Structure 1
Amino acid sequence: MEPVLRRIDLTTLPAEQELRALLPRPAVDVAASLPAATELIDAVRERGAEALLEQAERFDGVRPDAIRVGVEVLTDALASLDASVRSALEAAIERVRVGSTAQVPPPMIAHLGEGAEIELRWQPVDRVGLYVPGGKAVYPSSVIMNVVAAQAAGVASIAVASPAQAEHGGLPHPAILAACALLGVDEVYAMGGAGAIGALAHGVPAIGLAPVDVVTGPGNVFVAAAKRVVAGTVRVDAEAGPTEILVIADDSADAELVAADLVSQAEHDELAAAVLVTDSVELADRVDASVARRAAETPAAARVSAALAGEQSAIVLVADLPAAAAVSDAYAPEHLEIVTRDDDAVLARVRHAGAIFLGPHTPVSLGDYAAGSNHVLPTGGQARRVAGLGAATFLRPQQVVRYDRAALAEVREHVMALAAAEGLPAHGEAIEARFTDASGEVR
C-alpha cells in the first residue's frame, strides 16, 4: 500500500532556520488577501448595512431579512435545540468557565519601601466582537470559547457575528444562535467574512452596532486578512489559519489512537495539517496504515484525504525524542500531542505550542469541546510569539501608583537629576513644588 502521509527524514537535524523551512506547512498567504479584505471593509465603512447585505448575497448565497438577529429568534433556537446537544453545551460551558476564570490574575501590590507601592490590577475592555465561522462545519463550541473567556474577564458588552446561512433563511446556524442564548448573549448579527470584522471594528449605526474594543474568533484567510486591516483600530487575537495537529510519539504509542487523532484534525479542512514526529519507523508504518483505512472510511473522506495528501501533512522521522521536541518547537503547532513513555520529560523540552495534550487519553478533540481549555489557538507558527484565546485576551494590566511625602523625598534627587539630564526641567520642578512653599522655603 502506498503511504498516505509523505515522509521527511530529519534523523540528522539541520540548524533551526533551515529546519523551519523543511517542515510541512499549508500554502496560505494572508498578505495576498489583504487588498480584497480592505475593499470589503471599506465598503462596510462607507455604506454600512447595505454593503453587508450585498456581501451576504455574494458570498453566502442569501440576503438576510435583517442583519441583527431578534431576541425571539435566539429564544426559539434554544427551545428547539436537541436535548443531548444542549446538555453537552452546558457541560462544555461549565468546564470552560472554570478554566477561563482560573486565567484571571489577582491584583498584586509591589512594595518599593515605606509609603511607596504600585498596585497592578487587571481591567476588562468595555466591549468585544466575537466571530464564529460558518463554512464547512457549524461551531457552537466556538461561541462557548469566545463568549465564556470574555465573560470570565468581566466584559460587559458582547456582540457575536456569524455568517448568514441560505438553508436557514438568512440566519446564522440555529446551533450557534442557541449557544448564544444559552450564554445570555442577545446581540447577534448575521454577517460573515472580512465585512463582519470591519463592521465589528468600526460599527454600523443603522443596525445599532457600536464599535468594539477587541475582535476575536477563528475564520478563513479573508477573516485573518481583515484582522490585519483593522488591527490599528481594535485589538485582535491571533490570525487563525488552517488547523494543525503535531503528535510526538515513540514506539510505546498506540498507532490506532495516533491515527485517529491525525484524521480528526484533517476532517476540518482540505488545508488542515496532520503531522507525526517519531523516532520509530515501525510506529510510522503502523500509523500510516491505520490512517489509510480511517481516511477511506470516514464520512468526510474526500476532505480528509486531501488534507493528508497535501504538502502540509507528513510523518517526520527523527533520531530521538529530544530531536522530536526540537522539531515541534521549530514548527510551533496549534495543537501538540505527546504520547511517549515519559510525556513529562518531553514536555520539559517543549516551549512553543498553542495547547499541549499529554498522554493517550487526552486527544485534541477533547480540547475542542470539553477539556475546559480554549480551542481558539494560534496557527502557522504564531505560537512562538502569541497565546491562545483566554480571559487575558480581554484584560489590560493597569498600574496604580501610591507614594506618600516621605517616600517621594527618598527619590526626589534621583528624579531631579534625570529630569535635568533629559532637558525637562519642569519635571523636576513638579517634584520640588511638593517640598517648597510660595516663598521658596522648604516645607
Structure 2
Amino acid sequence: MPAEFADADVVVVGAGAAGLSLAHHLCAPGSPTPLSVVVVGAPPGPLIPPRRTWCFWEPDAGPYDASLAASWSRLRVTTADGGAVEAGLPRLRYKMLRSDDFEALVDRRLAGAPGVRRVEAAVSSVRDLPGGGAEVRVRDGNAERALVRGRYVFDSRPPRVLPPARTTLLQHFSGWFVRTAEPVFDPDVAELMDFRTPQPARGLSFGYVLPLGPRTALVEYTEFSPAPLTPDGYHEALDRYARGVLRLGAFEVTAREQGVIPMTDGRFPRRAGRSVYRIGTAGGATRPSTGYTFAAVQRQSRAVAARLRSGRPLRVPPAHGRRARAMDAVMLRALDTGRIDGPDFFGRLFRGVPAERLLAFLDGGSRWHEDLRIGLRTPVAPMLRTVAELPFTPRRPPRPLPHPPVRTEESSS
C-alpha cells in the first residue's frame, strides 16, 4: 500500500450524490467521536459524469439552500387533454440542485474537517479482509493493488446489474437547458408532469419543465418504459415537445443532460460483506414508483453518520419502508401490464389529493390511513387484481442496467 494512503475508520467509494452526502454528514461539526474518512472519487476522464440535476422537496429552509439553482412553491400537472392541475405548497418547496454546486458545498466542509482525505482512483474491487474491515483495490495496468483499508467501506457506485424482479421499468430522460427569445416561462411554477406527449406501448411518457427565469428553463422528455430510446429518438421527442407542445418559438440550447434510472421491485442488498455496505441507487435509495433518490439518500446517510459518530453499532436503514415498497410493486406491475393508464393514474392523484399530502405519500412519509384514502383515488379494480397476482408472479433473473449515450454539456442553437 502506498505510504501516502493510511487506513481509515470509513472509506466512501464514489463521489456522486450518495457518496458525497455520507461524507458531508460524517463531517458535521460537533461530532463527539471524530472519524477518519477517505472519499475515493473517479479520476479525470471518462469515468467522471458530466454535471447532473437533482430535484427533491422539503420545508422552505433546508441545509443546501445556499447552493440551489432554483426552487418553487407551486407545482402543475397537465393532463393529456390539456387540462391543468396547479397547486401551491404552503409548507414545502420543490428544489433543484446542480451536482457541481453540491460538490463545491461538500468540498468546503471536507476541507475544514480533520482526518478527511479525498483520493482520485479507478476502483476495481472492494472486499472484506479476514481480520475485519475491508479493502478498496485499484488496477494499475495488468496488476491490482490495495489503495486504502477501512473499518467500514460504503460503496456508492451505480449497479451494473439489476436484481431479480417481478417488474422492471426504466425511467429514462433527455433534457435541454434552453434560453428563449421571448419570455414564455412562469418562474413561480414547476411543471412536474405534462402528459401532452405521445405515449409508448408500455409505460408512460411526459414532459417536465423547471423554469429558471422568464426566458430560461430545463425542459425534459421522460419515459417510464422497458428500454431507452436512440439519440435521434430523444432529440425528436424533445423537439416535438418544445416546439409543438410548449411552442417556445426561437430558442437556444445551452446545455443538455440525459440519464437512466431503474424502477424495479427487485431487492437491492444494502450489505455486500461483513464490512462493506451499499448506498445510493445500488443500496435501494431510488423510489421505484417515481425515480426520486436525493431525499432518500439524505435520510439514509444522516442515519448512518449519526450511528458512526456516536459509536453505536452500525445499521444501514432501508431508504423506503416496507409498505411503500409494496405499493410501488403494485403500481409498477399495473402500469407495465397496461391495466392502468399512466397519464390517467397520475392525473387522478393530483386532481384528487392535496399536493403536500401527495408529496408526503410519494416520499414514503404518509400514514397507513392516508395511503388508503389515496389508494381510493386510483382505479381500484385493476389495482386489486394486481395485488392478488403479485404473490404468484416469479422474479425474473437479473439483467444488465442499460445506459444511454454519454451525457453532454454543450452550447448549440
Q: TM-score range by the shorter chain?
A: under 0.3
Q: State the TM-score, normalizing by the size of structure 2.
A: 0.25
- Give the greater-gyration-radius structure (CA): 1
Q: State the TM-score, normalizing by the size of structure 1.
A: 0.24
If each structure's helix is expressed as a fraction of its own residues, which one has the higher value?
Answer: 1
